[in-house]
Amino acid sequence: MGVSVTNFSRSGLSDWIIQRFSAVVLAAYAVFIVGYLLANPALEYAQWKEFFSCTAVRIFSLLALISTVAHAWIGMWTIATDYFKPVALRFVFQLVCFLAIFVYFVWGIEIIWGV
């Protein structure tokens, strides 16, 4: 099948398991960050900066960022191959997704490691 060359890991089963693993990581990270914000309603800059300077938070953030890259690509690939039949349209859509994910990745690392 022509569409299989643009999937994330060249294997549907592998993509499937990566999508599940990254989903669990992202769910845990979402609960972690939302929980932190809920637990600290009067959050100030110094505390926020200290939180993101913590090595464990940085590593968890990087893991979430990498999970986002995989999860978003597989998710958008599923949507592209399900709904866009014309090859040109699908190609452009996937190219835009790739560029967006690449920017998110580089920008995200810059933010997480620039604190």
Partner 1 sequence: MNQQRPINLDLTKFSFPLPALTSITHRVAGVILFVGIIFLLFALSSSLESAEGFAATKKAVTTGFGSFITWGLLSALAYHFVAGIKHLLMDLGIGETKESGLYAAIFTIIASAVLVVLAGVWVWA
Contact 89, 11 (CB under 8 A): no
Helix axes 55-83, 12-39, angle to 10 degrees: 130
* Smallest separation (angstroms) from partner 1 to the CB of 31: 8
- Phi-psi label, residue 99: left if phi above 0, alpha if psi -120 to 50, beta otherwise: alpha
Of the residues 36, 102, 107, 113, which one makes contact with partner 1 according to CB under 8 A:
107
Query: Angle at CA 97, nearest 5°, toward 93 and 99?
Result: 120
Stretch 35-74: interaction string toward partner 1, x if CB under 8 A: ---x----xxxx-xx--x---------------x---x--
List residues near partner 1 by CB under 8 A: 20, 23-24, 27, 30, 34, 38, 43-46, 48-49, 52, 68, 72, 75-76, 78-79, 97, 100, 104, 107-108, 111, 114-115
